[in-house]
Structure 1
Amino acid sequence: MKLIIQIPCLNEESTLPLTIRDIPRKIEGLSKVEILIIDDGSTDRTVDIAKQLGVDHIVRFPKNKGLAEAFKAGIDASLKLGADIIVNTDADNQYKGSDIPKLIAPILRGEYDMIVGDRKTDNIPHFSRTKKFFQRFGSSVVRKLSQTDVPDTTSGFRAYSRDAALRLNIVSEFTYTLETIIQAGHKKLAVGHVEIGTNGKLRESRLFKGITNYMRRSAKTIIRIYTMYRPMKVFVLAGAFSLIIGLLLGLRFLYFLASGSGNGHIQSLILAAVLMIIGFQLGTLGLIADLISNNRKLLEEALYRVRKIELSQPINMDDNYESNTQPIQGSKKQIS
C-alpha cells in the first residue's frame, strides 16, 4: 500500500519546512509514504526548499492557477504515481502531520472511501466568533445538501482511497473542499471524519479576502454543485415558487374585479401572467437539466472506467519527468 501526501504551495518557503518535518515517513500498514508538492506559481524559494527537504515529487505551475487547480493536479499526479491512498494537507502547517495515521486508519480498514479531519473549530483560539459562526452554519448547509455527517466541511486535511480519487471531477475554480464533499455524498461514497489537532496560526489565509468574500464565493460554489446533481429539484422548486406567487396575484386581481375595481389593478394581472410563465419555463428547464444531469452521470462513469484502466499501472520515468538537480534522499521526480 502506497500513501502520497500532497501539499499545494504558493510562496511557502518559511512554513513548508515545519509542515514536511511533521509528516511521518513510515506508517504501519503502508509500504511507502511519499510527499508530493504542487507549486502553484510560487515566486520565492518554495521549490528549492522542497528539494532540500527531500520531497519525492514536484508538480510545477509557471503561473498561479488557484487552490482548486492545484488540488486537481495533485490528485492526478498521485494517481499516476500509483497512490493507494492520497492525503491532502496545507503548507501553512495548520494541521498536525502526526495525525495522518489516524486520518487514514478508517480507509486502511476498508470502512470509508473518504475521511475529513475535524478541527473542532469552536475550540480554535485564533478563529473569531464570526468565523466560528459561519463555519458552523456553512458546514450544516453542506451536510444537508451532501447527505453526509461531516462536521468540518472546510477542512483541507483529508484522505481519499484510490477509488474515491478516481471518481472526483472538480469543476470549481475557487476551492475543492465543499465540492468534493457534495460530490462524494451524491455519488454514494462512504464519507467519514476523525478529530484532528491544529497548530498555531503562522500567516493569514491566501484563499479569500475577508469573511464576506469567502461566504459569497462559497455560496456560489455550493449552489452550482448542488444544481449539477439535483437540477430537477432546484428548478422545480424555483418554478413552483414563481407559479404560486403568480396565482396569488391572479386571485387578488379576480377579487378586485369581482368587487368592481379591477381596472385599477391591471398591473397585478400582468405581473401574475409573467410570474406564471416564468414558473412554467423554470419547470421545463428542470426537466431538460435533469436529462443533461443523467447524461453527465453516464459520462462520469465512463470517465471513471477509462481512468481506472489508464492508471492501472504506475508511471515510470519518461519524457514528462526529470530528476531534481540536487536529490537529497533517494530518487526524486519533478512533474512539469
Structure 2
Amino acid sequence: MKIVVYMPALNEELTIAGVLNSLPKSICGFQKMQMLVVNDGSVDSTEIIAKECGATVINHTRNKGVGGAFQSAVEFALQNKADVLVSIDADGQFDVNQIPNLVEPIIYKKADFTIGNRFDKGKPTDMPKIKYWGNKKVSNMVSFVSDTEILDASCGFRAYSRECLLSLNLQGQFTYTHETILDLLNKGFKVSQVSVDVKYFEERVSRVANSITKYALKTSSIIFKCLKDYKPLQFFLTIALIVLILGMLLGSFVLWHWVFEGKITPYKSFGFIALALCGMSVFIATLAFLADMLNRIRINQEKILVLMKRRYYD
C-alpha cells in the first residue's frame, strides 16, 4: 500500500517547510509514503524549500488555481501507483497528525473518500463569520444537489482511494472541492466525514475565497453546472414546469376577463404571451428528455474512460 500526501502551494516559502517536516514519517496501513507539492506558479523559494524537505515537486509555469493543481496531483498519484491520495493545505492550518484518522475509513473499506469537517464543534476560532456563513450555505447547496448531507463541502483536507481517482472527471480550474463531491457521489462512491481541527491566521488571505463575491459566483456556477449535468431530466423539467405555470396563470387571467367581461381587450397581448410560454414549456420538456439521453451516453463514456485509465496506469 502506498499513500501520497499532496499540497498545492503558491508562494508558501514561510510555512511549507514546517508542514512538510511535521508530516508523519509513516502511516499505519501503508508501506510507502510520498510527499508531493504542486508549485502553482510561485515566484518565491517554495520549490527549493520543498525539494530540500524531500518532497517531489510539480511546477506550473503559471497559476492554474487549486482545481488545476489538484488535477496534476491526481495524475501524479495514478502514475505512481498510489492507493490513497491525501490533500492538505501548505499554510499549516490543518493538523497533519490527523491524517491517519482521515484515511482510516478508506483502509477499512468503510468509505471510498473522506472529507474533513471543520465545523463539528461549531464555528472554528478566528474564522470570519461571513466565511462560516458562506461555507454552511455552500454545503447546503451541495447537499441538495447530491441528496447527501455534506457538513463541510469546502474543506481541502481530504483523502481519496485509487478507484475514486480513476473515476474522477473534473472540468473546473477555480476549485475542485465541490465538484469532486458531486462527481463521486453521483457515481455511487461512499463518503465519510471526519472531524478535523483547523487554525486561522488573521494575516493570511485565502487563495480561493479572497473575494467572497467572486467565490460565491464561481462556486454557484460549478454547482449549477453539476446539477445540470448529473440530473438533467429533473433540472429541465423543473424549468419547464415553472414556465408552464406562468403561462397557465397568465392564460387563466385572460380567460377570466373574457368570461366576465365578454372580451379580452385590453389583455390580448397577455393571451399571446401565455400561449408562447406554454409552447416554450413543451420545448424545454423536449430538451429535458434529450439531455437525459445525452446523460446516459456520458455515463457510459465515463465507464469506458475508467477502464482505459485502469489499463493505462496499472
Tell me the TM-score normalized by structure 1.
0.89
Gap change, CA 1:149 and 1:220, over 3 Å in 2:
same
SS at 1:262 equivalent: coil
Q: Is the 8 A contact 2:15 2:91 kept in 1?
A: yes
Cα-to-partner distance string for 1:157-208 (whole Å, 9 max, x where unaligned): 0000101111111111221000111111111101111111113426110213
Letter in 1 for 2:235: V
Cα-to-partner distance string for 1:207-254 (whole Å, 9 max, x where unaligned): 134222211111111010111110110000001110111011111111
Cα-to-partner distance string for 1:100-141 (whole Å, 9 max, x where unaligned): 011001111111100001111733122222222222222122
Question: By how many angstroms is 1:148 displaced?
Answer: 2.4
Identify the residue that residue 228 of structure 1 maps to in structure 2: 229
Aligned equivalents of 2:199 and 2:168: distance in 1?
A: 29
**Identity of counterpart residues, as a percentage?**
31
Letter in 2 for 1:80: Q
Aligned equivalents of 2:17 and 2:172: distance in 1?
A: 29
**Number of aligned positions between the proteins:** 311
Letter in 1 for 2:16: L
Identify the residue that residue 188 of structure 2 maps to in structure 1: 188
Q: Are 2:37 and 1:37 aligned? A: yes
Aligned equivalents of 1:52 and 1:158: distance in 2?
A: 25
The match for 1:280 among 275, 282, 297 is 282
Q: Is the 8 A contact 1:147 1:186 kept in 2?
A: no
1:77-226 to structure 2, matched below 5 A, reads: 77-120=76-119, 122-201=122-201, 203-226=204-227
Aligned equivalents of 2:47 and 2:210: distance in 1?
A: 26
Q: Which runs of 5 or more residues in structure 2 are unaligned?
A: none
SS at 1:18 equivalent: helix
Aligned equivalents of 2:271 and 2:200: distance in 1?
A: 61
Q: Which has the higher contact order (CA 8 A, sep 6+)?
A: 1
Q: Which runs of 5 or more residues in structure 1 are unaligned?
A: 313-336
**CA-atom RMSD in angstroms:** 1.3
Q: Is the 8 A contact 1:148 1:191 kept in 2?
A: no
Aligned equivalents of 1:96 and 1:261: distance in 2?
A: 74
Letter in 2 for 1:237: T
Tell me the TM-score normalized by structure 2.
0.96
Q: Is the 8 A contact 2:123 2:132 kept in 1?
A: no
SS at 1:134 equivalent: helix
Identify the residue that residue 21 of structure 2 maps to in structure 1: 21
Q: Is the 8 A contact 1:239 1:283 kept in 2?
A: yes
SS at 2:265 equivalent: helix
SS at 1:112 equivalent: coil
SS at 2:169 equivalent: coil
The match for 2:295 among 267, 273, 293 is 293
Q: Is the 8 A contact 2:117 2:151 kept in 1?
A: yes
SS at 1:123 equivalent: coil
SS at 2:73 equivalent: helix
Aligned equivalents of 2:209 and 2:188: distance in 1?
A: 30
SS at 1:264 equivalent: coil
Q: Which consecutive aligned stretches of 4+ in structure 1 deviate over 6 angstroms post-superposition? A: none
Q: Is the 8 A contact 1:11 1:46 kept in 2?
A: yes
Question: By how many angstroms is 1:24 displaced?
Answer: 0.7
Identify the residue that residue 241 of structure 1 maps to in structure 2: 242
Question: By how many angstroms is 1:64 displaced?
Answer: 1.2
Question: By how many angstroms is 1:261 displaced?
Answer: 4.1
Question: By how many angstroms is 1:267 displaced?
Answer: 2.1
Question: By how many angstroms is 1:63 displaced?
Answer: 1.2
Aligned equivalents of 2:104 and 2:300: distance in 1?
A: 32
Letter in 2 for 1:268: F
Letter in 1 for 2:234: K
SS at 1:263 equivalent: coil
Letter in 2 for 1:301: K
Identify the residue that residue 9 of structure 2 maps to in structure 1: 9
Aligned equivalents of 1:163 and 1:120: distance in 2?
A: 28
Aligned equivalents of 1:27 and 1:310: distance in 2?
A: 28
